[in-house]
Structure 1
Amino acid sequence: MFRQLECFIQICKEGSFTKAAEVLMISQPTLSQQIRFLEGEVGTPLFQRVGRGVKVTADGEILYGKALSVMKLIEESKKETYELRYARANKLSIGISPVDFHGLIPRFLKFHEQYPDITLKFASTEYTTQQLLNRSIDIGIANHYDPNKEIHAMHLYKEEQALVVYADHPWADRTSVSFQELEDLETSLFVADKSVIDHLHTFSEKIAKSLQTQFESTSTAILLSMVLQKVGAAILPASLIETFPGQHLKMIRFVDPTPVREIKLIYKKYHHHNPSVQKCIDFFMES
């Protein structure tokens, strides 16, 4: 139909099958066949012969106006899809939490040096799999995700978790603590990482009860604020706690065992729509 409309419009403009065939660079019999097909589709003659040329019929005039609109829409769509494809090829949307972003800033800066034409857009992520599937992000960086046959995850690094307390907490002078000793913690315990929460629930029922407070949050900033306000203690990434010197906080490392978060690079298995995704995957595999 697209080709037939193209032929029809050209004949209307030229007023002649012969001239239209020359412009379209096809034979006149081929052009005539296209018009016969089109007339069969619309169920009415579109031209009447006038001398050596042709004249558009009343029905043809109606179709001509509609055909021009259709062709304009097609050209606009082609332009917009090209622009979208080009834009996506030079933009990478990464879903990442603030705590993980902090530790990866050096790698992102290095990626930008290697690929200066790719714009990195960072977004918060809570439902990584869903965000990847609906294309609101291109890549997720997190420690957990909902398994899906369309999603793949690769290991990036492991991160130590530690206990953080306020400066005058009874345990503030300690440098290490075991998981078992958390049973003796007399304050509320806040944990942002789901895998650590699950481990605490299986490790000790008494410790699990200390997690049941009136305040809950997955935001590391909020948890740190609650520790500063002496609402309780928190288990957070050691690297994050170390970035808050002089904040009246004290970090106590865990022994027997030392909990860790495994950070993964998560992406759709089929990501051909955005070549920047593969560049990012290759970069993190090599770095």
Structure 2
Amino acid sequence: MELRHLEYFLMVSKELHFTKAAEKLGISQPTLSQQIKMLEKEIGYSLFNRVGKKIELTKVGEIVQQEALKIQGSIENISSQISAFSKGDLGELKIAVLPGEITDLVATLCIEFNQLYPNIKVSIETTDQVEKAVLDNRTDFGISFQLNQNDQLQVTKLYEEEFYLISNQKNEESKVAFAEVVKEPLILFPNQHQCRKIINKTSNEIGKKLEPIVETSSIKSILNLVRSGVGRSVVSRTLFEFYDTADLYFQQIEKPTLTRGVYLVRKKDCIVNYAAREFIKLLVSEIEKLQFHTEKDAIHSLYRSVL
């Protein structure tokens, strides 16, 4: 089996049209058809169902497509890293993140990352479908809270974080019950924000209605409003740690405790390029420095498989 055959097959599987695929490949349609027939003969199965002018992948074709994409991705990674090395440039980094706190976390780390690796171009895709972005090879890895089981993904729990009630005045009690939190004048993120979704879910579970006095998607606005005494807010520890909050006070929330897991998502059996490895190192180092609750076995496994 030649790599050229897989390249031709992937183009046909993408276009689902032999003439269009041949034009994009710069070869004649009869030549392309002959090459696909040679691949089918070697595999022993038809890769496409041909119905008139239309074609579709067979079940075997779908399997070959999935594996061929992995091979293509590996070859592209090898080529890009060799090219980057030869030019003294370390390449590109693409990260998928959920809207909200993780975007802030990644963006903050990008400042330090850029200082260390100024020649690496960093692209952050903010999306509600982190896993799909990783599966579609649009990103090198993703960071998410919500996970759906998928055999093609390698998922590592980075840390468990809690939520704080923050204010501009110190309270003698280090902890506060959630039922008391909802009685406060609150400044919160909008309903579509990941942090707000957890607060809404918890308030519904205890039969309390949330009525914030201010809603804003800007964490800086929330912190400034809290500083001015307009109200209090509930934020994740990630946000509290990554912004200038030295003049604010926090209480841990209990009954129930508000927590969530933060996960690193990457595609199985794919090469982790240099840029991705270096950013993940920086991320893990920051997590350990801030003493987030981590699962040591998971972090050690990540070091073995990626770092």
TM-score of the two chains, using structure 2 as the length reference: 0.48
Q: Which residue of 1 aligns with 2:163?
A: 161
- When Rg is computed on C-alpha atoms for both structures, the one with the higher figure is 1
Deviations 1:189-247 (A, max 9, x none): 525525623542343232x4235x66243x53343244345454221123542552454
**C-alpha displacement at 1:141, in angstroms?**
1.7
Deviations 1:72-122 (A, max 9, x none): xxxxxxxxx7865746884332334344338978xx87xx99xx7994725
- Name the CA shift for 1:232/1:245 in 2 (closer, same or farther; >3 Å): closer
Q: Which residue of 2 aligns with 1:271?
A: 270
Deviations 1:233-280 (A, max 9, x none): 221123542552454x321222333322211001223534x5448857
Q: Which residue of 1 aligns with 2:105?
A: 100
Query: Where do residues 71-110 of structure 1 align in structure 2 (5 Å cutoff)?
Result: 84=80, 86=82, 90-96=91-97, 97-101=102-106
Letter in 1 for 2:141: I
The CA RMSD measured in Å over matched residues stands at 4.4
**C-alpha displacement at 1:137, in angstroms?**
2.0
Tell me if structure 2 keeps the 8 A contact 1:118–1:276. Answer: no
Identity score, percent: 17
Q: Which runs of 5+ in 2 are unaligned?
A: 1-27, 32-75, 85-89, 282-298
- Name the CA shift for 1:279/1:156 in 2 (closer, same or farther; >3 Å): same
Find the aligned partners of 1:99 and 1:154 in 2 and give their Cα distance.
20
3-state DSSP class of the match of 2:260? strand
- Name the CA shift for 1:143/1:104 in 2 (closer, same or farther; >3 Å): farther
3-state DSSP class of the match of 2:210? helix
Q: How many residues align?
A: 196
Find the aligned partners of 2:230 and 2:137 in 1 and give their Cα distance.
39
Deviations 1:155-205 (A, max 9, x none): 1111221111234xxx856532111222432x1352552562354234323
- Name the CA shift for 1:87/1:233 in 2 (closer, same or farther; >3 Å): farther
3-state DSSP class of the match of 1:210? coil
Query: Where do residues 31-42 of structure 1 align in structure 2 (5 Å cutoff)?
Result: none
TM-score of the two chains, using structure 1 as the length reference: 0.50
Letter in 1 for 2:178: F
Q: Which residue of 2 aligns with 1:244?
A: 244
Tell me if structure 1 keeps the 8 A contact 2:187–2:222. Answer: no
- Name the CA shift for 1:279/1:184 in 2 (closer, same or farther; >3 Å): closer
Tell me if structure 1 keeps the 8 A contact 2:195–2:236. Answer: no
